[in-house]
Amino acid sequence: MQPFEDFAHIGAGTLAGRFIRNFWQPVMISEDLGAGQPKRIQVLGEFFTAYRGEGGAPHIVQDACPHRQTRLSLGWVEGDCVRCFYHGWMFDGEGNCTEQPAEKDSFKDKVKIQGHPARDYLGFVFAYLGDGDTPEFPLFPEIDETKDTVTYNQHPVPCNYFQRVENDLDEVHIHFVHRVSADEAGLDQLPEIEVSEADYGILRTGKRSDDGNNVTRTAHIMMPNTLMTITPGSSADPDWTLHFAWRVPITDEEMASFIISTKKGGGGGLLRRPHTDPDPNDITEDVLQGRVRVQDLDPGYRGLFNVQDNVALAGQGRIVDRSKDWLGQSDKGIILLRQIWARELKALADGMPIKNWRRPKKSFMAEKTREIELANS
């Protein structure tokens, strides 16, 4: 395997890690970051201190204090700065050292830690963890404009993030992994898959012959790790639903999905999805340890979809040697995804620019609604 074909390792300095760090990422749930209560979080294999200053804005700085390395997340928030618990050095959200109380001749101007741009959006704290100029923040008008009920949650998965990203290109798995639910949703037929590269990533469609339900699922896979799925309505549930997921690496062997789901009607606005009990990851572990079969789980269990995906993904191993895969024509989305990533990582390795990935400013749903209106006129 060439270094530019390693998409799994994401530590600082790795090619895939450098690539992902070019994009804003959700790093935690906003409401879990109370003012004055710093938290230690792990993203992309690194620890950070997240804190919310008196101004209310979130800040993300490196967790290790540069003095003698204790965690800044153990300290205090003062104004819009965080003060170290050990000897009181203080830092602002940009990583500048603003105080060294025990130093008679302060050398604070020489001390700088990582401080990353951060903001709240759609229930999550997003951060830009890369170097250089901060890219424009990616807004999602499909969600911003909705008057419907939008739920968000964060869901850890015990495997490498790229397994989860590949699954987003895998329309066939629905037929097997989610068989119990798919049959009900009119997705019981194997789809005809089409994929193509777009300005933002990959457009994927899975067409099934129409048996009275509208059964073409469209997904926009936005580089590097964001899925947007538009699921058509069925005769039972005529409204389209929207699903967004960011597949964010925590370490090389664990990732978290940050998920947004919109449901037509209700007008509930932005709501946190309640925790699923029992925890899907506990059930996943039971299945992987052979204590229970995934096929025997209660079809009414709210965490079933997550467990089904987790089992298929973590069942590959936490991190996988992809050279052993046998890919077929139904894997064309995964083949295209790997080709694009290899091309981008090779550009980074060669010191060349990566593609200017960008999504359209206008809503994908507006386009979809217009298509439907035209078809009906």
Residues within the interface to Fe ion (CB under 5 A): 309
- Please compute, for residue 212, the number of CA atoms within 13 A of its CA located in the half-sphere on the CB side: 6
- Decide: is 96 part of the binding site for ligand FES (CB under 6 A): no
Q: Cis check for the bond before 224: say yes or no (omega within 30 of 0).
A: yes
- Decide: is 40 part of the binding site for ligand FES (CB under 6 A): no
Q: Are residues 168 and 219 in contact, defined by beta-carbon separation less than 8 angstroms?
A: yes
Residue with tokens 């101004």: 55
Q: Please, is 133 exposed, middle or buried when counting C-beta atoms within 10 Å of its C-beta (0-12, 13-18, 19+)?
A: exposed
- Decide: is 81 part of the binding site for ligand FES (CB under 6 A): no
- Decide: is 147 part of the binding site for ligand FES (CB under 6 A): no
- Decide: is 245 part of the binding site for ligand FES (CB under 6 A): no
The residue among 125 and 313 lying less far from Fe ion, judged by its C-beta, is 313
Q: Which of 86, 121, 240, 301 binds ligand FES (CB under 6 A)?
A: 86
In 3D, which of 360, 373, 366 has the Cα closest to residue 145?
Answer: 366
Segment contacting ligand FES by CB under 6 A, of 83-91, 103-111, 136-144, 234-242: 83-91
Q: What's the closest the beta carbon of residue 51 comes to ligand FES, in angstroms?
A: 15
In 3D, which of 232, 186, 240 has the Cα closest to residue 211?
Answer: 186
Which residue's C-beta sits nearest to Fe ion?
309
The residue among 116 and 173 lying less far from Fe ion, judged by its C-beta, is 173
Q: Which of 9, 39, 87, 358 binds ligand FES (CB under 6 A)?
A: 87
Strand ranges for 252-330 from DSSP E: 254-263, 269-272
In 3D, which of 347, 346, 350, 351 has the Cα closest to residue 2?
Answer: 346
68 binds, among Fe ion, ligand FES, none (CB under 5 to 8 A by kind): ligand FES
- Decide: is 68 part of the binding site for ligand FES (CB under 6 A): yes
- Decide: is 89 part of the binding site for ligand FES (CB under 6 A): yes
